[in-house]
Amino acid sequence: MSLPERLVEQSSLTRRQLESLTGYIHVALGEITLREAASLVSKGRTKGTPAEPLTTGSYYRTVAQARKNVKQALTTVIIALWLGVIKVEDVRRLFELVGGGARELTDEEIERMVQVLEALLRRMLV
């Protein structure tokens, strides 16, 4: 399980939105087509049951919802910074910690990263 998959339950993204957004990144990089990305996400996936693939329209709506959630999350961070609820240094440290992005991590590294993130997030919030 990747770090984003491990953290998705604590985010404003659904599992399906995470899957769709990940696929959309591959589309944007020209690695796969939009239709291929849509076929990778099944309708029943969030309930743990395999089903038929999403239509391209449903897939794109899910991507749009995910992008909206990411934008809202970042806006929330900006508001929290402005109000002084969290400190710039803490946000910078958090972003530097996860800023490496999509590199593969071992299960132990993921578990350690989750522990560090949770500790930092607990400390950050006033």
Residue 59: alpha-carbon gap to chain centroid: 16
Q: Which domains does the chain have, with CATH numbers?
A: 3-124 (1.10.10)
Pick out the chain residues at pLDDT < 50. Answer: 45-49
Which pLDDT score is estimated for 91? 85
CA nearest to 32, candidates 109, 40, 86, 96 = 40
